Structure 1
Amino acid sequence: MSNRAVLEVIALDVEDAVAARAGGADRLELVTDMAADGLTPSRATFAAIRAAVDIPLRVMLRLSDGFAAGDEAAVAALAAEARALRAEGADQFVLGFLDPDGAPDLAAVEELLAELHGCRWTFHRAIDRCADRGRLRKALADLPGLDTYLTAGSAKGVTEGLPVLLAEAARTGEPGYQAQIMVGGGLTLEHLPVLLDAGIDAFHIGGAARPHGWSGPVSASAVEEWRKALA
């Protein structure tokens, strides 16, 4: 089994997915509407990408910008989306919600997890906006399927969050720190040596895979540059 670091790339459509796969991505995060920082894609988009590539897909569960789940109707609507995606064959997800006090919204998260039936999932960068990272990790530690935290260590990005990322990496295996740290959010190639030296082995890129910005597609050569840096 390979010990190489995991490289996850954001894909909006089939073109992105195929290019990311060609460049050496290990996994894709599927979203739509990056103007809202990534929302749930349609079933049709998921199905088309699933047919086009053979690597794992993590599907975003989020219907509006921000980290609030919304009212009961909004959570029910998102649960219905999760159910539909599961019926389409989705088996990995990305989600995460905070309450107004910056604590994890466990009621919303657990309602969605009831639809996922043990699927593996990532708690996304809501952790970078929470009131207490350690308390959040402990609150989520026993939830079924949670295997990854997508984090920059800070709401401002990896450069500012580096000390937090290194401190959390040093606690790997402790209660609340068993899920994999996947670093993303302002991540650059220059950050990689210190992160790799700390034992961090999962990385997430979006804009870094797109030389022409979010208005252009993923570049296989840009992804390949990251893959080689992580080899």
Structure 2
Amino acid sequence: MSNRALLEVIALDAEDAIAARSGGADRLELVTDMAADGLSPSPETFARVRAAVDIPVRVMLRLTDGFSAGGPEEVAALVRTAERLRAEGADEFVFGFLDDHGHPDLVTVERLMAVLDGCRWTFHRAIDRAADRDGLRKQLADVPGLDTYLTAGAAEGVDAGLPTLLAEASRSGEPGYDPALLVGGGLRLEHVPPLRAAGVQGFHIGGASRPSGWSHPVSPSAVSAWREALDA
């Protein structure tokens, strides 16, 4: 197995996708509306990004800010969104929802599984708000396609979550710990050496790829700096 770390970059459009790819990104997380921490893009945006780059694209399934999927109508809308994106050719996704008690929303996951039909997917940072991280992993252990957890280790970000991330990295192979860790959320370059030393192979950047802020496109040179750090 390659020891090369995976670098995933948040993209909002085809311009971002091309810049991230040229900087050395291995994969994109495609979203819209970062003011709400990333919502589902339109099928048209996905189609433009898919045509622009040859690297994998994981598409956000999320219609409202927060970590709840909402009521039956909202969940039905989410399922329709997934169906439209699948029809456009999307085959990798990102989502994660909690119920009112901080446990994984298994009903919504099951509804989406019926549409995604074995597609690979990331459970995103809802895990950092879960009542029981270990319990969540074990409850989702047999869900088809789940191969990654996007996590900072804590709701406050990687600074606070680093001990949790290092501990979870050491549990690879235990029930619920087969999915890869994809570390993101306040991630900085100085976090990379301890995480790499612990065996973490997935890194996710958003704001770090845009030194001028979210109103500006991804910077290829910023992505390249991360690529070099991960390859060092």
TM-score interval for Structure 1 and Structure 2 normalised by the shorter chain: over 0.9
DSSP 3-state at the match of 1:62: coil
Question: Aligned equivalents of 1:113 and 1:94: distance in 2?
Answer: 12
Partner of 1:7: 7
DSSP 3-state at the match of 1:155: coil
| TM-score of the pair, normalised by structure 2 | 0.99
Question: Aligned equivalents of 1:52 and 1:170: distance in 2?
Answer: 37
1:19: how far off?
0.2
1:222: how far off?
0.3
**Cα deviation 1:5-47 (Å, max 9, x = unaligned):** 0000000011100000000000000000000000000000000
Amino acid at match of 1:157: G
Amino acid at match of 1:113: M
Question: Aligned equivalents of 2:90 and 2:65: distance in 1?
Answer: 22
Question: Aligned equivalents of 2:2 and 2:154: distance in 1?
Answer: 30
Structural mapping, 1:133-212, within 5 Å: 133-212=133-212
Amino acid at match of 2:95: L
Question: Aligned equivalents of 1:113 and 1:164: distance in 2?
Answer: 29
Question: Aligned equivalents of 1:229 and 1:178: distance in 2?
Answer: 25
Question: Aligned equivalents of 2:230 and 2:110: distance in 1?
Answer: 34
**Cα deviation 1:71-108 (Å, max 9, x = unaligned):** 11111111011011001000000010000000000001
For structure 2, the residue ranges without an aligned partner over 5 or more in a row are none
**Cα deviation 1:119-158 (Å, max 9, x = unaligned):** 0000000000000000000000000000000000000000
Q: Note if 1:69 corresponds to 2:73.
A: no
Amino acid at match of 2:114: A
Question: Aligned equivalents of 1:124 and 1:72: distance in 2?
Answer: 21
Aligned residue pairs, count = 231
Amino acid at match of 2:20: A
Question: Aligned equivalents of 2:156 and 2:213: distance in 1?
Answer: 19
Question: Aligned equivalents of 1:207 and 1:141: distance in 2?
Answer: 31
Provide the alpha-carbon RMSD of the alignment. 0.6
Partner of 1:52: 52
1:113: how far off?
1.3
DSSP 3-state at the match of 1:126: helix
Question: Aligned equivalents of 1:85 and 1:190: distance in 2?
Answer: 36
1:187: how far off?
0.1
| TM-score of the pair, normalised by structure 1 | 0.99
1:215: how far off?
1.0
Partner of 1:114: 114
Question: Aligned equivalents of 2:146 and 2:177: distance in 1?
Answer: 11
Partner of 1:19: 19
Question: Aligned equivalents of 2:66 and 2:150: distance in 1?
Answer: 15
1:2: how far off?
3.7
1:109: how far off?
1.0
Partner of 2:104: 104
Partner of 1:83: 83
Amino acid at match of 1:32: T
Tell me which stretches of 4 or more aligned residues in structure 1 moved more than 6 Å: none
Identity of aligned residues (%): 72
Question: Aligned equivalents of 1:36 and 1:200: distance in 2?
Answer: 28
